[in-house]
């Protein structure tokens, strides 16, 4: 049977043991599930010597199932937030050899011909998998979703790499039902949005690229095309935030690297800043639950991050600076116990919950399903269509006003007001990172450089203010109580002396920042 058209797939990665357990799961809430069917699939992927198809985001393969061979061309194979929606052209063939004569869609024929030209095609790699499929249906809205549990290997040359993936393909019904099915299926099982198609994974493995590790993930720079609409820009920002949040969720669960919770909190703060910077174009009712959950998780990640900073940046560096008569052992033991037993457990337990799974899938659905649309706002269409340059200048000017409000009274700010100014500067910096590609870099860099220096000082001042809470945080009793009390006194006194010096620098950096030309005007 031949097939041609656009498919919608959600690709997720799971722990192999979790995937095996899920294969044999019974009912899936809200859906009727068929019995599972398991097949062995062998897929051979082709390209030109210069990988012209890969560069054009096209995959070309033949797949054997039983005794039958099927040739498939997929156009537009990029994966965003685990979602892939290529145009697929699929036809039976007689063997593992390609046969373009069977392709019925002339536009696919023409596209392949244009890309390949006279270049030879050859086998690049193959995948061999056991695929277990089930069909999910929901009568209320006509949803029909195929779920496929793939377990196998990528084979290239003499090497192989494990491949474990869950694919959910929407066959019929509303596009958002695929996310609802994912929530019902996964429940509290942590997952990763697949960043690559199987074809891209194969190419990366054949080139010797290392497997993706569960390590702290830093957001990549965002770049908008000139004249891009506000809506498309907002979608790209959301995709960046979703990737940073979901990747660092796994990094926190995989190791105790302090950068994991830090980057998780940064991703959540970037998301919340995006909701505020793009607020004029949004339907606030749909963003509010996502914003509230982001705030909740960020608070838990922040509690762990604060302890990491206290231990690694405020207390530990003073061990070698203090008099030899002072002992930091009892203080550090207490702080490390707080970090591990309570604070980290609170965060990791939540990150492995059904609630956080739902948050990530809801954010993906919001991002890819245009969740910001307001059915009753007839002016929204024009706002969404306006060039991003116009919106960016207004958003940055508005956020700068908030920073300026604090800066005008810098010398009189209380400690809570300094903290509020720091948060306003963070939102300003995230806005510059979102929109910075729209402006000449020679005008962006001087302003951003001064902002970063000012932020670093305010960050240190905030950390020292946090250190002043050590007597309440560290209730040491017994033999170590006196030593811990003395160590806390030294820590607070040493850093407060540093604060006095740094605060003088803050005034100078603020004046320099205030006088630097504003690139968005």
The pLDDT tens digits of the residues spanning 174-201 come to 989 999 999 999 999 999 999 888 999 9
Q: What is the mean pLDDT of residues 216-227?
A: 91
CA–CA dist 177, 184 (Å, integer): 10
Q: Answer positive or negative: Cα dihedral of 46, 48, 50, 52.
A: negative
Strand partners, 128: 42, 153
- Read off the pLDDT of residues 232-252 as tens digits, 9 standing for 90 and up: 999 999 999 999 999 999 999
Confidence (pLDDT) at 318: 93
Domain ranges of the chain: 3-206, 230-515
Q: What is the mean pLDDT of residues 491-512?
A: 84
Q: What is the mean pLDDT of residues 296-300?
A: 97
Residue 478 pLDDT exceeds 70: no
Q: What is the mean pLDDT of residues 429-444?
A: 93
Residue 35 pLDDT exceeds 70: yes
**Where residue 277 falls among pLDDT bands split at 50, 70, 90?**
very high
Residue 303 pLDDT exceeds 80: yes
> Which residue do the tokens 């005034």 mark?
507
CATH number among 3.40.50.1860, 3.40.50.620, 2.40.70.10, 2.40.320.10, domain 3-206: 2.40.320.10
Eight-state DSSP code of residue 514? H
**Where residue 479 falls among pLDDT bands split at 50, 70, 90?**
low
* pTM listed for this prediction: 0.91
> Which residue do the tokens 């903290």 mark?
419
- CA–CA distances in Å: residue 405 to residues 392, 398, 411, 493: 20, 11, 13, 31
Q: What DSSP letter does each residue of 36-81 carry, written as one string?
A: PEEEEEEEEEEE-TT-HHHHTTEEEEEEEETTEEEEEEEE----BT
Helix (H) or strand (E) holding 162: strand 159-172
- For all residues of the chain together, what is the average pLDDT? 90
Confidence (pLDDT) at 21: 84
**Where residue 457 falls among pLDDT bands split at 50, 70, 90?**
confident
Q: What is the mean pLDDT of residues 31-59?
A: 95
CA 329 to chain centre: 38
Q: CA neighbours within 13 Å on the CB side: how many for 441?
A: 2
CA 286 to chain centre: 20
Q: What is the mean pLDDT of residues 489-504?
A: 86
Confidence (pLDDT) at 237: 97
**C-alpha distance across the termini of the chain, in Å:** 59
Eight-state DSSP code of residue 424? H
Residue 2 pLDDT exceeds 60: no
Q: Which CATH superfamily is domain 230-515 in?
A: CHAD domain (1.40.20.10)
**Where residue 456 falls among pLDDT bands split at 50, 70, 90?**
confident
CA–CA dist 150, 153 (Å, integer): 10
Confidence (pLDDT) at 361: 96
**Where residue 4 falls among pLDDT bands split at 50, 70, 90?**
low
Neighbouring CB atoms inside 10 A of 431's CB total 21
Lowest mean pLDDT among 26-40, 113-127, 255-269: 26-40
- CA–CA distances in Å: residue 391 to residues 231, 272, 288, 382: 10, 18, 21, 12
What are the tokens at 88?
Answer: 């697929």
β-pair type (122-138, 32-33):
antiparallel
3-state secondary structure of 387: strand
Q: What is the CA radius of gyration of the chain?
A: 27
Confidence (pLDDT) at 3: 56
What are the tokens at 143?
Answer: 């949803």
Confidence (pLDDT) at 1: 52
3-state secondary structure of 304: helix
Confidence (pLDDT) at 465: 81
- CA–CA distances in Å: residue 390 to residues 229, 238, 380, 394: 10, 19, 15, 7
Confidence (pLDDT) at 366: 95
Helix (H) or strand (E) holding 147: strand 143-156
Q: What DSSP letter does each residue of 86-144 carry, written as one string?
A: -EEEEEEESSSS--GGG---HHHHHHHHHHHTT---EEEEEEEEEEEEEEEEETTTTEE
Which of these, 475, 430, 214, 164, lies nearest to 338 by C-alpha position? 475
CA–CA dist 197, 150 (Å, integer): 13
- Read off the pLDDT of residues 363-406 as tens digits, 9 standing for 90 and up: 999 999 999 999 888 899 999 999 999 999 999 999 999 999 99
What are the tokens at 469?
Answer: 């809470």
């Amino acid at each position: 049977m031949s097939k041609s058209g656009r498919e919608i797939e959600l690709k997720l990665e799971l722990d192999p043991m979790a995937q095996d357990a899920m294969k044999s799961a019974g009912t899936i809430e809200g859906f009727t599930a068929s019995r599972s069917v398991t097949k062995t699939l062998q897929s051979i992927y082709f390209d030109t010597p210069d990988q012209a198809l890969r560069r054009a985001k096209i995959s070309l393969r033949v797949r054997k199932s039983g005794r039958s061979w099927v040739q498939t061309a997929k156009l537009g194979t990029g994966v965003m937030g685990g979602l892939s929606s290529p145009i697929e052209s699929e036809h039976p063939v007689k063997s593992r050899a390609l046969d373009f004569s069977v392709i019925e869609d002339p536009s696919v024929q023409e596209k392949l011909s244009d890309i390949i030209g006279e270049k030879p095609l050859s086998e690049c790699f193959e995948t061999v998998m056991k695929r277990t499929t089930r069909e999910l249906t929901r009568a209320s809205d006509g949803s029909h979703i195929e779920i496929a549990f793939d377990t196998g290997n990528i084979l290239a040359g003499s090497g192989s790499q494990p491949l474990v993936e869950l694919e959910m393909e929407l066959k019929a019904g509303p596009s958002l039902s695929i996310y609802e099915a994912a929530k019902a299926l996964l429940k509290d099982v942590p997952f990763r949005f697949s960043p690559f198609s199987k074809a891209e994974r194969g190419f990366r493995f054949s080139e010797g690229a290392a497997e993706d590790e569960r390590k702290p993930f830093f957001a990549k720079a965002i770049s908008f095309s000139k004249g891009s609409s506000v809506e498309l820009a907002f979608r790209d920002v959301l995709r960046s935030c979703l990737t940073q949040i979901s990747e660092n969720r796994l990094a926190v669960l995989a190791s105790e690297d302090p950068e994991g919770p830090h980057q998780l909190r940064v991703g959540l703060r970037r998301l919340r800043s995006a909701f505020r910077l793009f607020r004029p174009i949004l339907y606030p009712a749909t963003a509010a639950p996502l914003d509230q959950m982001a705030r909740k998780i960020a608070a838990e990640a922040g509690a762990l991050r604060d302890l990491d900073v206290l231990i690694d940046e405020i207390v530990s560096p003073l061990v070698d600076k203090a008099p030899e008569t002072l002992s930091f052992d009892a203080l550090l033991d207490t702080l490390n116990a707080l970090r591990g037993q309570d604070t980290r457990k609170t965060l990791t337990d939540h990150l492995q919950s059904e609630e956080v799974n739902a948050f990530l899938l809801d954010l993906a659905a919001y991002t890819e399903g245009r969740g910001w649309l307001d059915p009753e706002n007839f002016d929204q269409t024009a706002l969404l269509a306006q060039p991003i340059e116009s919106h960016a200048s207004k958003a940055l000017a508005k956020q700068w006003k908030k920073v300026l409000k604090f800066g005008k009274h810098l010398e009189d700010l209380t400690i809570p007001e300094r903290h509020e100014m720091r948060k306003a500067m963070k939102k300003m910096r995230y806005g510059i990172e979102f929109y910075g590609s729209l402006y000449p870099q020679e005008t962006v860099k001087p302003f951003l450089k001064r902002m970063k220096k000012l932020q670093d000082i305010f960050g240190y001042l905030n950390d020292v203010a946090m250190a002043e809470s050590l007597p309440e945080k560290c209730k040491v009793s017994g033999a170590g109580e006196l030593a811990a009390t003395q160590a806390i006194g030294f820590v607070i006194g040493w850093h407060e002396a540093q604060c006095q010096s740094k605060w003088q620098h803050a005034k100078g950096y603020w004046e320099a920042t205030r006088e630097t030309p504003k690139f968005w005007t």
